[in-house]
Amino acid sequence: MQIKKVLLFLSLFILNLSFAQEHFSGINISRRVGILNASFNPAEMTNLSNTYEVNVFNTSLNVSNNKVSFGDIVNSDKDIEDLIFDGNEAANMRLDLLVNGPSFAMKYNKWAFGISTSAVAKANIIDVDVNLGNALTNSGLNSIFGATSVSSNYNQKINAATWGEIGLSLARDIYDTDKYKVSVGTNIRLLFPSSYTNFAADKFNGTIVNTAGNLSLTDTQANLNIAYSGPIADGFTDANNFNDFFSSGINGYAVDLGVNFRIKAADNPKDYKFNSGLSIKNIGSMTFKSDNNESSNYNLNISNTQFLDLNQFENVDNIKDIEQILLSSGYLTKTNDQKDFTIKLPTLFTAYADLKLAERFYVSAFTQQKLVDDSDNDFSTTQNSITLTPRFSGENYEIFVPLSDNEISGFTGGFGFRLGGFFMGSGSILTAMIDDTKQADVYLGFRIGF
């Protein structure tokens, strides 16, 4: 069935890439301050380690889930879909790709300015009931004849989105003495929404019947949202549909606001004893306006004497055909629809503090907390995280070990390094090597300062 294909594609895409929603864990508050630091807190731009900075590229690919670990994949003889829908807890997966392209920043007296480019891709499985997932993938129906009841009071979603960004940043020192410095900053990002899809089932209650391998849905009620725009609507399983970022015009914006406080080092004006910051990110939204746009809400109602044949979805590979089959069944009632629709970004609160313990030894704490309810259909989502990072840092090199607690995947430990303008790391590689982990992420980049 197609829903099985969708779930399996997302899980295989995530697990095979083997790449935590906190991007650039460990390097994001490096003492070598650059455009990357300012992407987390625009007020950091006045702390640039060089007068001018050119970001050549940096990229981060982050994946987390609450079900499948590397040990499960290696040691279990179960299929991946069996592992995803094991146990009683609802299944969650997050994939988050960020590519920061050519960017430039400079500081002048008490001011700093920057322009940046980015591409973003997200794919999510959100709170999918394990009984429903098992039934739809056949893995939970072990008998030739039987029925599986599903009852949930929350919104289950599978969605994905891609978009491009151009950011314009401004920061200024507002208090600067020999010992202390306070700066504020903002980043206004122009958004280029490219592609989006959402399939959601809110308050799903029903029964899936297995009759000698023929699956049908009966005695079912749910509120459905089916939305799509751009290339993803043409197929879930083609990775090429996820790589289009700047195909549309500017149809949205986001604003980041930040404040930074640091206690300067007495022997080096570019160094500090203590550095901290607060920021609110992703205040904004974007509107999708592709030719194939559609967002519709439906009531799904199947009586206990009616049956929807689920096997007819087997060869379907896009959400538009799924919608058409459901409409043709006669069990859907449309409540409203719209051609152009708006998706809100996941507004985040971030806070960090970095303390110099001794010559070249630092330790930092970082937290990222979302300020929105991502169960709604008009939200892109992320995850909460807290990270503690001990670091050995010189002027031209850096070694760090981020230790994180993540909302979806739990505890992870990573490792990374910086050599000049090049950096590379992972927030989960140590956990993957010495213990099971339900997260994988990797990042790297290169920038030039002068």
Torsion of CA 245, 248, 252, 256, to 10 degrees: 30
**pLDDT category, 226, cuts 50, 70, 90?**
very high
> Residue 240: what pLDDT?
61
> Is the confidence at residue 68, as pLDDT, over 50?
yes
Nearest to 431 by CA among 9, 57, 69, 49: 69
> Residue 7: what pLDDT?
45
The residues spanned by each domain of the chain are 2-449
**pLDDT category, 20, cuts 50, 70, 90?**
very low
215 and 311 in contact (C-beta within 8 Å)? Answer: yes
> Residue 204: what pLDDT?
92
> Is the confidence at residue 74, as pLDDT, over 60?
no
Residue of 108 and 69 predicted with greater confidence: 108
**pLDDT category, 28, cuts 50, 70, 90?**
confident
Tokens (6 digits) for 140: 């939970």
Residue 10: strand, helix, or coil? helix
Residue of 386 and 213 predicted with greater confidence: 386
Nearest to 449 by CA among 396, 391, 400: 396
CA-CA distances (angstroms) from residue 55 to 33, 68, 118? 12, 35, 11
Average pLDDT rounded to a whole number, residues 188-196: 92
> Is the confidence at residue 1, as pLDDT, over 60?
no
> Residue 11: what pLDDT?
43
> Residue 309: what pLDDT?
87
Q: Tens of pLDDT along 361-372?
A: 999 999 988 887
Average pLDDT rounded to a whole number, residues 385-408: 89
Residue of 405 and 76 predicted with greater confidence: 405
Q: Does the pTM exceed 0.95? A: no
> Is the confidence at residue 5, as pLDDT, over 80?
no
> Residue 307: what pLDDT?
92
CA-CA distances (angstroms) from residue 350 to 280, 408, 428? 6, 18, 20
Backbone angles phi, psi at 144, to 5 degrees: -70, -35
> Residue 159: what pLDDT?
85
> Residue 8: what pLDDT?
42
User: In angstroms, how far is CA 260 from the centroid of its own chain?
Assistant: 25
Backbone angles phi, psi at 162, to 5 degrees: -135, 145
Full DSSP string of 163-215: EEEEEEEEEEEEEE-SSEEEEEEEEEEEEEEEEEEEEEEEEEEEEEEEETTEE
What average pLDDT does the chain have?
Answer: 83
**pLDDT category, 87, cuts 50, 70, 90?**
confident
Rounded Cα distance, 330 and 309, in Å:
12
User: Which ranges in 85-129 belong to alpha helices (H)?
Assistant: none
Full DSSP string of 281-335: EEEEEEEE--TT-EEEEEEEEE-TT--EEGGGGTT--SHHHHHHHHHHHT-EEEE
Tokens (6 digits) for 388: 């503690």
Report the run of H or E that residue 53 belongs to, with start and end: strand 52-65
Average pLDDT rounded to a whole number, residues 115-120: 94
> Residue 337: what pLDDT?
86
Radius of gyration, alpha carbons of the chain: 24
Question: Which residue's structure tokens are 């709170």?
Answer: 127
Residue of 234 and 79 predicted with greater confidence: 234
**What's the fold here for domain 2-449?**
Porin (2.40.160)
pLDDT cut 90: percent of the chain above it = 42
- Ramachandran region of residue 247, left (φ > 0), alpha (ψ -120 to 50) or beta? alpha
340 and 347 in contact (C-beta within 8 Å)? Answer: no
Residue of 52 and 237 predicted with greater confidence: 52
Lowest mean pLDDT among 25-34, 228-237, 406-415: 228-237
Lowest mean pLDDT among 126-130, 256-260, 302-306: 126-130
Rounded Cα distance, 229 and 341, in Å:
9
Average pLDDT rounded to a whole number, residues 196-213: 87
> Residue 257: what pLDDT?
97
Kindly report the CA angle at 442 between 440 and 445, in degrees rounded to 5?
170
> Is the confidence at residue 287, as pLDDT, over 80?
yes
User: In angstroms, how far is CA 55 from the centroid of its own chain?
Assistant: 22
